[in-house]
Amino acid sequence: MKLVQCTSTSQDGWLSLRRELWPESPPDEHLAEMRTFIEQPGRFFQLVAYDADRLPAGFVEAALRTDYVNGTDSSPVAFVEGIYVAPSYRRRGIGTLLVAAVVTWAKACNCTELASDALLDNKTSQAMHRALGFEETERVVFYRKLIP
């Protein structure tokens, strides 16, 4: 596997992998967010993993957060905003490689904690996080009330 840092919205595979992870978002929203990441390299870090044939196998996006991050004690905190490995590449250590690269970046940014999240019903993501060495810190249910 080769990990390549994303420095362009046309990075091969980045958009298509994002659309697999977040299919509800239209391509223009993905591209706008990707541009923001590229424009702020001191705050965001993103990689695509490629197989030996240069086919995209997975990606990770991370950010430095200075606001409160649930379950953490420090600031800034490196936060995995998104991680995805295509189904045919899973259980080959790609997620481990991607998170290790984020940890290296986070250390260079003087972070002592790496955080992430997963939806309560996303058992696959929760299992992946545990397998990658994350520990669960809390569970939260969000509420809203419309104001007339």
Give the CATH class of 2-131: alpha beta
CB 83 within 8 A of CB 75: no
Rg (CA), the chain: 16
- Residue 48: phi and psi, rounded to 5, are -120, 140
Give the model confidence (pLDDT) of 7-44 as tens digits: 999 999 999 999 999 999 999 999 999 999 999 999 99
Domain-by-domain residue ranges, the chain?
A: 2-131
Give the model confidence (pLDDT) of 66-119 as tens digits: 988 888 999 999 999 999 999 999 999 999 999 999 999 999 999 999 999 998
CB 4 within 8 A of CB 11: yes
In the chain the first and final C-alpha atoms are separated, in Å, by 53
Pairing, β 44-50 against β 2-5: antiparallel
